[in-house]
Amino acid sequence: MATESFIGFPDEARVWVVAADRALPTASQNVVDASLDEFFGNWHSHGRKVVASSFISHDRFVIIAAHVPGNTVSGCGIDASVQQLDDIAASVGFGRAGVLDVLYLDGEVVKQVSRIEFAGLAREGKIDPDTIVFDTAIDSLLQLRNGDFNRRVEDSWHASVFSVAGKSHPG
């Protein structure tokens, strides 16, 4: 994972993971990267410079880390970044994956399914404890650095919600 994009950032830096609704071709990734870099150069939160960087993981996830030295990114600052990313997505032609969808690796391909579909795949044995799942709800750089973004089903919250061969959810 390209966490080297965040060298020098504190563990407490805020992280946002935006999952695209499809794999982004290289040309689209280049537009996203360049547009975000331009935005980051001018991003302020209550008059303070926001230090930010990003990278794209698995051709699908835009991962942004940001911090304001000695402070936090305000709600208005966060809103500005969300609007910017929405504008970039519209210009490139991609949407966001559904927040209730499950994203996982099938070989080297990121798949996106509903929770009901994921539960069915688990029942059928197509999802096992070693399947890699993505947690787009992480919100700190420490979580990203600790590997909480992509991990085995067995080591994620998914294991407590879905019955997976070798694991079963309670109740």
Burial-class residue 36 by CB neighbours within 10 Å (0-12, 13-18, 19+): buried
The token pair at 103 is: 């994203």
Please give the tally of structural domains in the chain.
Answer: 2
Residue 170's pLDDT band (boundaries 50, 70, 90)? very low
Question: What pLDDT, in 10s, does the model give residues 92-132?
Answer: 999 999 989 999 999 999 999 999 999 999 989 899 999 99
Do 111 and 79 reside in the same domain of the chain?
A: no
Answer yes or no: is pLDDT of 86 > 80: yes
Mark whether 114 and 83 lie in a shared domain.
no
Residue 52 tokens read as 């930010």
Q: Is 50 part of a structural domain of the chain?
A: yes
Q: What CA dihedral angle connects 22, 60, 102 and 122, to 10 degrees? A: 90
Report CA 49 to chain centroid distance, whole Å. 23
The pLDDT tens digits for 11-41 are: 999 999 999 999 999 999 999 999 999 999 9
Q: Going by DSSP bridges, is the β-strand pair 51-57/61-67 parallel, antiparallel, or unpaired?
A: antiparallel
- Spell out the residues 6+ positions from residue 95 whose beta carbon is closer than 8 angstroms to its own: 20, 21, 89
Return all residues near 58 (Cβ < 8 A) that are at least 6 apart: 105, 110, 134, 150
Do 88 and 106 lie in one domain? The reply is no
Confidence check: pLDDT of 139 > 50: yes
Name the residue range of residue 82's domain. Answer: 3-92
Question: pTM above 0.75?
Answer: yes
Chain Cα centroid distance, residue 4: 16
